[in-house]
Amino acid sequence: METQVEFEALRRETSSWWYISRRKLLRDAAAQLLRDKREALVLDFGCNAELETADLPALRALNAHSSLPMLAFHQLQGRRALVCTTPEELAFRSNVFDAVLAGDTLQTVADDVVALRELRRVLKDGATLCLTVPAYPSLWGEKDEARGHRRRYTASELRRKLNNAGFEVTRVSYVVALGFFPAVFEHIAKSIFSKTISREKAARPAPWADAAMVGLLDCERFLIRFINLPFGTRLVCWARKPAAVAERVTVAAWERQWARAPLPQGMG
């Protein structure tokens, strides 16, 4: 019975406006990153991009998650290449993926810098990570606790942690700017009236409201191709694993001299 309730909650979540918009955002990122590749292997950590159904013929995707119930749900939805692994210790070889997508997973990890280092390890040199996370610690609320979140991020904090993990940050932009001010007002109202709303009793948005939000976020998704949005309830980031560079070592003159072949010995 408990499993059925959990699956029903996951089914509602996968039909929500943010899940649909995030899936489009991650697919766009994958298409942009892999447009010049004839064959590519991508890791979808969090199983949020649904790359199997995307129009990317040269793409092979692995879907990874640390939750067995989540993987079972996606298996029932027809997903393939499912792998159960923890973000702090990924069950993959180093330097194997052409891109990594991580939609709303970093905020659930105990040590996010360790997880970022693992994502960097499995990426090929010069490959890119695209991730989304919830923004602004000041917006922390009951929904974060119900979803198992451990933190929210600012753009500067996310940049710093990615740099500490060895990434070169390419872009960071806020998204869901249209939902930022309603989220702030809701947070202030709850803090004033101290009203607790359980996850089960929370009102589900009407289908027309979900469709309207998806349409508005489609406009944002088009906009962030050209500019970085200054605020929003989520962050999207692109970070690159630096390519290995062979260093040219200059050998001192006396070392080069002693490295030469010995001079022929004179005849006695």
Is residue 183 situated within a structural domain? yes
Instruction: Please report whether residue 187 resides in a domain.
Output: yes
Give the pairing type, strands 82-84 and 59-65. Answer: parallel
Query: Looking at the 3D structure of the chain, how many domains does it have?
Result: 1
Decide if 262 is inside a domain. no
Does a structural domain hold residue 258? no
Structure tokens at 85: 């692994």
Q: Please report whether residue 260 resides in a domain.
A: no
> Would you say residue 252 lies in a domain?
no
- Residue 82 located in a structural domain: yes
How far apart CA 65 and CA 235 sit, in angstroms, is: 21
Looking only at the bridges linking them, the beta strands covering 59-65 and 40-45 are parallel
Residues of the chain with pLDDT under 50: 1, 196-201, 246-259, 263, 265-268
Mean pLDDT of the chain: 84
pLDDT one-digit tens code per residue, 256-265: 444 455 545 4
Query: Residue 148 is part of a domain; what is its CATH number?
Result: 3.40.50.150
pLDDT at 243: 85
Looking at residue 257, its pLDDT comes to 46
Find the Cα–Cα–Cα–Cα dihedral 126, 130, 131, 135, rounded to 10°: 100
Range of the domain at 116: 2-244
pLDDT of 34 reads 86
Say how many C-beta atoms besides its own lie within 10 A of residue 264's C-beta. Answer: 6
**Residue at 261 is within a domain:** no
What is this structure's pTM?
A: 0.83
